[in-house]
Amino acid sequence: MTGGEFWNRMFGAAPRMVECRDAFRLGTKLLCGLAALSCFLLLTLSAARAATLVEPGKPVIVETTDKTITEQKARFGTLSLVQGKPTGSSSLIYLAPETGSGLSDTVTYKLDSVEQTVEIEVRSGAQTFGSDELYETSFKALFVLFILAVLVESGLQLIFRWRPYLRVFDTSAVNALIALAFSWFFVGWFKLDIATKLVNAYAAPDHVYANSTVGYLLTAMIIAGGSAGVNNIFKAFGIRPIGPPADIAGPKDDKIAWISVTLHRDKAVGSVDVLFGEPGKEAVIGTIPGSGSNHPLARLFFRNKGRFPQSGGYTVDASADTPKSVKLNAKDAGGKDIAYKEWGPYPIGPRAIIDVERTV
């Protein structure tokens, strides 16, 4: 064994091993953080109190208790505290606004210094399908979803376009998790259960659902889908024109194909050139600078530095029947070319997706 081979085996592979190990640890921490956030939201949001239904201009009792009620507040309605002389109990009464059908109000108060929150639904009666009030409620909810989706999508672009983030993570796998986690935290923090409000608008007036984990999750998923996702809902309602179907994975044109090369290092040292083309006319189309992890989670969430391209596929011409081949230009620690089995030459079919793996 030469000194160069010994140095490479002892120290050359260490940075790559450390890099893969750190990437895997980072991915594990990310998944654990998302799981912890989900458990936290499930525990905190599932304790929501059922909403109280009242007609416009009518009163409803919010709380009757022997404890002391203080600091009562309502956003739209009027609150009155009535003392019961025979029993000594107190009743907190909510008076709904005269013109507030379809209104959602929140009453807050303290019961012996303990914060209490009650959701109030002001509704005049059942909203039948086809009624103007039902469509107005639906449009308002969808408009709010669209605005929130645009804001969240624009804010997350600061992270999604950050160069270190793009170099480490496979954005097609990680972006959705981050967007969903942030959207779920956002709607839970501000108690924006728009999905449940829509269900209440469609349900019978004597069955009002309180904010729930399912409603928060569905609202968060719609917001995490971005403005394009909300726009698809508008299209389903006929508010937006129907556009072309979403892009499918892989090439859509019969004249092109995708090809990728994954390198499993054995003796190769340094960058490895990837050549593609007709036999004898191959040209360099890219390089493989490092090594990638074989762990399924690491390959799913992180860019593979032992692959060209690191994610997706390289577009090549598939219109001609001329056979093509793939070669690797690799050298060992002593600077000598490494012999290996090249791919091809083979004709490439329309819209083909080719994944080549070589151990060099």
Higher-confidence residue of 195 and 246: namely 195
197 within a domain of the structure (yes/no) = yes
168-206 per-position pLDDT tens digit? 777 777 888 888 899 989 998 888 888 888 887 776 545
Contacts within 8 Å (CB) and 24+ apart, 99-102: 99/56, 100/56, 100/76, 101/56, 101/133, 102/127, 102/133, 102/136, 102/137, 102/201
210 within a domain of the structure (yes/no) = yes
Q: Which domain holds residue 88?
A: 56-122
Higher-confidence residue of 161 and 231: namely 161
- Going by pLDDT thresholds of 50, 70 and 90, the confidence category of residue 322 is confident
One domain, residues 145 and 232: yes
Lowest mean pLDDT among 34-48, 75-89, 214-228, 277-291: 34-48
One domain, residues 279 and 196: no
Residue 103, pLDDT > 50, answer: yes
* Helices 13-45/213-224 angle, 10° precision: 130
Based on the structure, what is the number of domains in the chain? 3
Q: In percent, how much of the chain has pLDDT > 70?
A: 70
- Going by pLDDT thresholds of 50, 70 and 90, the confidence category of residue 54 is confident
One domain, residues 134 and 230: yes
12 within a domain of the structure (yes/no) = no
Per-residue pLDDT, 19:
46
One domain, residues 263 and 354: yes
Distance of CA 98 to CAs 59, 95, 123, Å? 11, 9, 11
Query: 135, 198 in Cβ contact below 8 A?
Result: no
Residue 249, pLDDT > 60, answer: no
Q: What is the mean pLDDT of residues 263-277?
A: 87
The three-state (H, E, C) secondary structure of 257-270, written as one string: EEEEEEEECCCCCC
39 within a domain of the structure (yes/no) = no
When mean pLDDT is compared over 4-18, 124-138, 188-202, 321-335, the highest value belongs to 321-335
Cis peptide before 323 (omega within 30 of 0): no
One domain, residues 212 and 170: yes
Residues with Cβ within 8 Å of 70's Cβ and at least 6 positions away in sequence, in order, are 109, 110, 113
Q: What is the mean pLDDT of residues 258-268?
A: 87
Residues with Cβ within 8 Å of 75's Cβ and at least 6 positions away in sequence, in order, are 105, 106
One domain, residues 145 and 225: yes
64 within a domain of the structure (yes/no) = yes
Lowest mean pLDDT among 59-73, 115-129, 282-296, 340-354: 115-129
